[in-house]
Structure 1
Amino acid sequence: MKKLIVFAVASLFTLSMFTSCEEKTKEEKLVEEMKADGAEIKVNEDGTKIKMETEDKSVKIKKDDGETKIKIKEDNE
């Protein structure tokens, strides 16, 4: 009986560790990357459009009807 309780507790901890690790979406990764690069970030009032710009990169994110569209433009001179 004691082994069963120890196994159940160990299983609970293992399960909770896997569910707490969330994978970031591509959108979240881009926002963090652009913030780190010092980008100017503009978000419209309802939050459906995000525009981020640095000197050499421009990223536009548009959320529409559950779909997310991402456009990345890099200036290579």
Structure 2
Amino acid sequence: MKKIIFTVLALTVLTTTFIACREDNNKKEVIQDMKDDGAKIQVKDDKVKLETETKKVKITDDEIKIKDKS
């Protein structure tokens, strides 16, 4: 029984680690793409705002919001 509990706990920790790294990489990709497009960057306490002529992106700890200007 201990072996099963230990295995489930280990898998949970590994899964959480991989998900957290993937979300961090996604934020970095969005920031890099916006920089390549020549975005204006504003950094506040826990927010990053990026703005180009065609879209706005707000990145917080929890989510990424992308808005097209039309």
- Mapped to 2, the partners of 1:57 and 1:25 lie a distance apart of 20
Q: CA deviation at 1:75?
A: 2.1
The gaps in structure 1 that reach 5 residues or longer are 1-21
Aligned to 1:69: 63
- Opposite residue 59 of structure 2, the aligned amino acid is I
Q: Superposed, which structure 2 residues align to 1:27-46 within 5 Å?
A: 27-44=27-44, 46=45
With normalisation by structure 2, the TM-score equals 0.62
Amino acid paired to 2:65 = K
2:58 pairs with 1:60: yes
**Which structure has the larger Rg over C-alpha atoms?**
1
Give matches, 1:1-40, under 5 Å. Answer: 25-40=25-40
- Distance in 2, matches of 1:58 and 1:26, equals 16
> Following TM superposition, where does structure 1 have runs of at least 4 consecutive aligned residues deviating by more than 4 angstroms?
none
Alignment-derived partner of residue 12 in structure 2: none
- The count of residues paired between Structure 1 and Structure 2 equals 49
State the SS of the aligned residue for 2:27. helix
Share of identical aligned residues, percent? 43
Q: Which runs of 5+ in 2 are unaligned?
A: 1-20
- 2 CA distance for matches of 1:75 and 1:58? 7
Query: Where is the helix percentage greater, Structure 1 or Structure 2?
Result: 2
| SS of residue in 2 equivalent to 1:25 | helix
